[in-house]
With several copies, the nearest count.
Chain A
């Protein structure tokens, strides 16, 4: 019961536009879009941030963030962000990429942006499928996982093993902050937000390449309810993609945070 004595303790971040998203009910992108918006709010960098959307369900991210945005070709967001950041090192540049985009077609671009230590932030949304095109197998789909392009379940002998991108990228000297988080319950959502904030701060402090991999639900393509989908994240994805800090450079550990 709303009374005069009450004040707002949480509301929609002002870095998000009022636009309604096209995401399905229960989609993790909704949560993650919001978290990025909150972090941009808290850091007060809306006006100096340039986002780069990828091709995937988040392709319209530029409609949802109230900052300058570019929409990259499928997989090439890190290259496009590199082009932007090199010319505008004074701006905060982030990419927002799905797992098909980043871990499949865009493998070369993310590996090299990381190796170069490009001073950008990558929000990597891993929902273990190609959401936008209708739930095909992604490089991140779990062994045995049934998708529209692995109708008998992912057969690792034919289709290979899922790629743990964060572990792989963490081997590169150029990287400064690489962590994996999840969104399957409010506590993890909050941890994710903190990581996103650290990643942006890494960039703002000029410390180099930062990436937050976020496990995220795609209820529609998993054929689950939103609630079941969060359980799936917790029970299936997290064991295969352990949460934690894959790489935190000393410089990042020691950085002064606002």
Chain B
């Protein structure tokens, strides 16, 4: 299953929690500061490894991550998050 995420830098507070849960280790913290003074998280996925597994968005305290998956992966199933 192929997926990706979009991180809203305006919301990201640089807590790094998403980086600790990604099973593919695809998220890292940028060096730069956001306008609000945080280092934002960024997706680095050159190998297109993201599965859209929802783990990062589930732990993100700022609802800053939107998760996408390739169509065809059943939508309903996706909305119900994994246990």
Contacts and interface: CB of A to CB of B under 8 A. Distances in A.
Interface in B27-83: 36, 38, 45, 48, 52, 54-55, 57-63, 65-71, 73, 75, 78-79, 81-83
A247 interface: no
Given A26-B15, A190-B83, A7 B71 contact: yes
A47 B11 CA distance: 25
Q: Give the interface size class of chain A.
A: 35 or more
Q: Which of A1, A5, A27, A230 lies at the interface centre, i.e. has the most chain B CB atoms within 10 A of its CB?
A: A1
Nearest to A193: B81
Contact of B17 (A9, A10, A191, A230): A230
Contacts of A1: 4, 45, 48
Contacts of B13: 23-26
B34 to A, nearest CB: 11
Contacts of A242: none
A6 B4 contact: yes
B61 A9 contact: no
A1 B67 CA distance: 11
A87 interface: no
Dominant SS among interface residues on chain A: mixed
B63 A5 contact: no
A189 B54 CA distance: 12
B68 A9 contact: yes
Interface in A111-151: none
Contacts of B62: 21, 23, 30
Contacts of B59: 31, 185-186, 189
Contacts, number: 109
Nearest to A189: B58
B58 A9 contact: no
Contacts of A37: 63
A13 B3 contact: no
Contacts of A10: 54, 57, 65-67, 78-79, 81
A227 B14 CA distance: 11
Interface in A30-65: 30-31, 34, 37
A187 interface: yes
B11 A9 contact: no
Contacts of B75: 7, 9
A173 to B, nearest CB: 31
Closest 5 CB pairs of A and B: A30-B61, A26-B15, A9-B78, A25-B15, A25-B13
Interface of B: 2-4, 6, 10-11, 13-17, 20-21, 36, 38, 45, 48, 52, 54-55, 57-63, 65-71, 73, 75, 78-79, 81-83
23 contacts: A1-B45, A1-B48, A3-B4, A3-B70, A6-B2, A6-B3, A6-B71, A7-B69, A8-B66, A8-B68, A9-B67, A9-B69, A9-B79, A11-B67, A26-B15, A27-B61, A34-B61, A185-B21, A186-B54, A186-B55, A190-B81, A226-B15, A227-B16
